[in-house]
Amino acid sequence: FMKILLSLSMATWSNLGIQDANSPLMEQLIFFHDHTLMILTMITVLVGYMMGTVLYNKLINRYLLEGQTIELIWTILPAFTLIFIALPSLHILYLMDEIGHQWYWSYEYSDFHNVEFDSYMKPINELEMSDFRLLDVDNRAVLPMNTQIRLLVTAADVLHSWTIPSLGVKIDGTPGRLNQGSILINRPGLLFGQCSEICG
């Protein structure tokens, strides 16, 4: 049977862009990416133009030994550019204010009594036609939409990193420590996550 999904957010073959945003935080991360990329494009064009004019210019001034004005400009202008890039990232930084095991994740819903389960990746020989290799699990975690969700992440054995790229969330799980994060999902659908670092 084919599964009907309202929104399937995952990396696809030959996809060179960012995954579709499923949370306000990921939308802000994409905006910051585009903002920074536009600034870098303008800087690249400006520097390329200046280098081209200097290389193909036949005018030479042999008495020019120093230029305090130009030195002041190329010291202050990059500082303002870096501040212009850094200000939007500070807002995202402070917004980003499960139990990982070596081969699986354990989930506990603290709002309900005795709701806990383990989630293993499906082996390749058990996949159905509509399943995704190396992404589908035997027990999926179900999260509510348009609700602020608090996540507490830790690890039982080695270092882990719980990640859902389309939500813009990545929380490290460290044995003996409890890390906290929060997410808000604003679109329904099937979202795939993974451990985003080499565990250990």
Question: In whole numbers, what is the pLDDT of the chain averaged over residues?
Answer: 79
Q: Is 115 exposed, middle or buried (0-12, 13-18, 19+ CB in 10 A)?
A: exposed
Of 180, 101, 19, 183, nearest in space to 172 by CA: 180
What is the pTM for the complete model shown? 0.59
Q: Is 189 within 8 Å of 8 (Cβ atoms)?
A: yes
Other C-beta atoms within 10 Å of 195: how many? 19
Give tens-digit pLDDT for 100-153. Answer: 777 788 888 877 777 788 888 888 888 888 888 878 888 888 888 888 888 888
Question: What is the distance between the alpha carbons of residues 162 and 152, in angstroms, rounded to a whole number?
Answer: 10
Spatial separation of the C-alpha atoms in residues 141 and 197, rounded to whole Å: 20
Place of tokens 């585009």: 34
Looking up tokens 């099937």, which residue turns up? 190
pLDDT of residue 118: 85
- Number of Cβ within 10 Å of residue 35's Cβ equals 15
- Mean pLDDT lowest among 29-38, 89-98, 138-147, 166-175: 89-98
Q: How many whole angstroms separate alpha carbon 50 and alpha carbon 73?
A: 14
Residue 84 CB neighbour total at 10 angstroms? 12
**Which tokens in the block code for residue 113?**
């009594």
pLDDT at position 200: 59
What structural domains does the chain harbor?
24-57+66-95 (1.10.287.90), 99-195 (2.60.40.420)
